[in-house]
Chains A and B, each alone.
Chain A
Amino acid sequence: MAIASGAIVLLILLFLIWETLPILQIIGLARFFNDPAWHPTSEEFNLVPMLWGTLFVTVGSILIATPIGILSAVFCHYYAPKAIANLYRRAIELLAGIPSVVYGFWGLVVLVPIIGRIHPPGPSLLTGILILTLMILPTITLVADASLASVPSEYLRGCASCGLGRWATVRGVVFPAAKSGLITGVILATGRAIGETMAVLMVCGNVVQTPKDIFEPVRTLTANIALEMAYAVGNHRAALFVTGLVLMVMIIALVIAAELLNKGHIYEQ
């Protein structure tokens, strides 16, 4: 199984390179970063604003979702009465099960008009961040919840015998013990945030520009592919495959960064 899934990833990567090779040979990789703008039908292929779009939306949602997610897992484990903790856990699991297109639709008809009243036009970087936060929150919470559950109970009894308070226990003992699990959750969530397409396509506005504030519309790399693939031909189509390749490289970079950050021990408990 491991070989099969590894092979599939490699095949996808090879396929992307195969599809993009002709255009990369003709016009070169540099033009995807130096062209004046993204107008693929007029042979202008700048991907940088979309790279920023993906980065801002992802980082924004991770920054909001990580503290909320981890703290709510802590709340479930060490503060909430059992009944409430169970109810809360079910609710989060339900949140994880909602299809992304439903989030997008909800964002489009509810969230976008609200943001639009605060600061037009409505579909914006902020809306994208909020929707993505909601979508990745369950991943972070549930993984954090599982890793808190696997902290050995001797640790907790030891803390209690030392007379440590609840928060001191959580901060001083539980967090370091569960660190790798918490980070794994955040990495999984980051992967989901980068790859999310439908929801961000519906709420982000999709204008190709580097946003100057959070109320401006942005387009992410994934949205770019989904928006234009249906009607793209020739170089335009190949440019969308380059978009996919850039996205893939970004995710590979993320995984490598995560490995380095943890010196290769993230997946060990």
Chain B
Amino acid sequence: MKSRIFTPLFIGFAASLVQSCSKPPEAATKSADQLQGKLVLTGSSTVAPLAAEIAKLYEAEHSGVRIDVQSGGSSRGIADARQGVADVGMVSRSLKDNEKDLQTFTIAKDGISIIVNNANPIKRLTDKQIVDIYTDKINNWKQVGGIDAPITVVNKAEGRSTLELFAEHFKIDTKNIKADVVIGDNEQGIKTVGGNPNAVGYVSIGSGEYAATHQTPIKLLPVEGIAASITNVTNGTFPISRPLNLVTKTTPTGLQKDFIDFARSQQVQDIVKEQYFVPAAQ
């Protein structure tokens, strides 16, 4: 939503800035002359903020290009790319078999890790135990081999992509989750779990790993025996992760291709990390 409201504003602002400070047209390079026009991206609300940031950077480098990023869900990304309503679709999952006619370009990966407080003696939880904890069938750490204390279940607000991915992996209906605390962003989750020895929560793996290695008293639990780390998301072994994709109907050309290449390049890695995603392996 943010992108839909702010992108046009930003484009206008950037356009006026760029026009006022760039050199006269004849001084512009030839390649920049060729890349003119408008690019429309629609789809996943997880990818949209990332794509919007990348688009800002791209527009700053190419004065003749306008990029419009609209969110509306992964399925809209697929549909719009297919029908040609959008030049590029944004999809926050692997493509299904019946969607393989589209070209896919992974720009980043998203993973989530289960976190508990450092003071909690628990070393691991099975998937079944996590489901039972989140659906209130287990409500004391004693039942999973910890100390005798009630479990504080930290959940994300409805609509968040981390909640979507969590529920999808553990096959829980979000309606059945019985939370004690509902949080918004990852940072709030980390603070909540860091301040409560009996809390369990989940956050984007990038923010979780950063906090755990920077003096926040939380630890990341392994999932299915695999340690939760950015490295394991990058090499594809960590189970709770998904690719963030750009999709196109045909092999991308011109501006479309240039933008997709840009979104997969080293130049945008900082933006990817800022949004707690994991850069796709090059």
Contacts and interface: CB of A to CB of B under 8 A. Distances in A.
Interface of A: 37-42, 44, 108-109, 112-113, 116, 120-123, 201-202, 205-208, 217, 219, 226-234, 236-237
A245 B80 CA distance: 33
Q: SS class of chain A's interface: helix, strand, loop or mixed?
A: helix
Contact of B181 (A205, A233, A236): A205
A122 B196 contact: yes
A231 B192 contact: no
A231 B161 contact: yes
A207 B174 contact: no
Contacts of B45: 231, 233
A264 B250 CA distance: 69
B11 to A, nearest CB: 21
Nearest to B162: A231
B104 interface: no
Contacts of A40: 158-159
A121 B117 CA distance: 14
A121 B2 CA distance: 33
B124 to A, nearest CB: 23
A121 B178 CA distance: 13
Interface stretch (B26-34, B55-63, B183-191): B183-191
Contacts of B152: 116, 120-122
Interface residues of B, number: 29
Contacts of B192: 108, 112, 123
Given A121-B196, A123-B180, 13 more contacts: A41-B158, A41-B159, A109-B191, A112-B192, A120-B149, A121-B180, A122-B181, A201-B184, A207-B182, A217-B181, A228-B159, A230-B2, A231-B161
Nearest to B71: A233
B273 interface: no
A228 B45 CA distance: 12
Given A113-B195, A120-B152, A122-B152, A231 B160 contact: yes
Contacts of B158: 38-41, 228, 236
Among A230, A234, A237, the one with the most B-chain Cβ atoms within 10 Å of its Cβ is A230
| 10 pairs of A and B residues whose beta carbons are closest in the complex | A206-B182, A231-B159, A121-B152, A227-B157, A121-B180, A205-B181, A227-B184, A113-B195, A123-B181, A120-B150
A108 B181 contact: no
B79 interface: no
Contacts of A38: 158
Nearest to B184: A227
Interface of B: 1-2, 45, 71-73, 149-150, 152, 157-161, 174-175, 179-184, 188, 191-192, 195-196, 198-199
Contacts of A113: 195-196
Contact of A228 (B2, B157, B196): B157
Contacts of B73: 233
A206 B201 CA distance: 14
B196 A236 contact: no
B182 A205 contact: yes
Contacts of B159: 40-41, 228, 231-233, 236
Contacts of B150: 120-121
A42 B174 CA distance: 9
B164 to A, nearest CB: 9
Contact of B180 (A109, A205, A219): A205
A24 B233 CA distance: 43
A219 B199 contact: no
Contact of A202 (B72, B161, B175, B188): B188
B52 to A, nearest CB: 12
Contacts of B157: 206, 227-228, 231
Contacts of B179: 207
Contact of B191 (A108, A219, A226, A233): A108
Contacts of B182: 205-208, 217, 219, 227
Nearest to A237: B1
A121 B181 contact: yes
A142 B111 CA distance: 50
Contacts of B175: 37, 39, 42, 44
Nearest to B199: A121
A112 B1 contact: no
B174 A39 contact: yes
A207 to B, nearest CB: 5
B191 A230 contact: no
